[in-house]
Amino acid sequence: MGAFVDRIVVGAAAMRRDRPELAHQSFNARARTYIQESGVVELVKWFKHNSLTYPQIAKVVCSCSGDLEKVRRMLKWLRSIYVKGEFLGRVLAKGESLMSRSFEELEEITGYLECCGVRREWIGHVVSRCPQLLNLSLDELETRVQFYTNMGMNENDFGTMVYDYPKVLGFFSLEEMNSKMIEDLFIFC
């Protein structure tokens, strides 16, 4: 929570200069005002209501460098791709670099998945079950998709597979994917 605490300290100190009505208050009173105005309390309550633990909440707040508006924009974007309420916080907590990604990058990833056969209304379900997908670069995602299409999988089958088992695309490393495929071939033969 260091970045958020730094933001509180700087914000509370700036209130003395920028807001004359608060200049006479103690630093602690200005810090309390800054916290109340930041909306962090409501956000923490919302995350707790959606079953996040305090360490997960701290991880989300730290990942946005204390910019809670960024968290709100990300939640709005996640809703736009059909991530359901109870999964919103978990996606933010498990998507390690999600808060550092631009919305353009995220749209490229979801758009590419759609082009490969994953229906738009399925994207939220897929991301809810495997938030790591949003951490992949577009090049890495293309390589992973090619892994399956090179085996002869068509768009419909690929989309259905990703819907049913999203971790096969975003959870395992490429090396693990290859080794599991080889293991399955030996078992099948």
Q: State the pLDDT confidence band at 7, using cuts at 50, 70 and 90.
A: confident
CB-CB contact of 61 with 71 (8 Å) = yes
d(CA 35, CA 94): 25
If you average pLDDT over every residue of the chain, what do you get? 84
Query: Of the candidates 124, 110, 116, which has an alpha carbon nearest to the alpha carbon of residue 157?
Result: 116
Q: What is the pLDDT of residues 140-170, one digit of tens each?
A: 999 889 888 888 888 889 999 999 998 888 7
- pLDDT value at residue 58: 79
- pLDDT value at residue 1: 59
Structure tokens at 99: 């808060």
pTM of the model: 0.72
* Helices H / strands E in the chain, number of each: 12, 0
- pLDDT value at residue 96: 65
Q: State the pLDDT confidence band at 99, using cuts at 50, 70 and 90.
A: confident
CB-CB contact of 101 with 134 (8 Å) = yes
Sign, CA torsion 15/20/22/27: positive
d(CA 133, CA 110): 9
d(CA 155, CA 131): 22
Q: Does residue 39 have a pLDDT over 60?
A: yes
d(CA 106, CA 113): 11
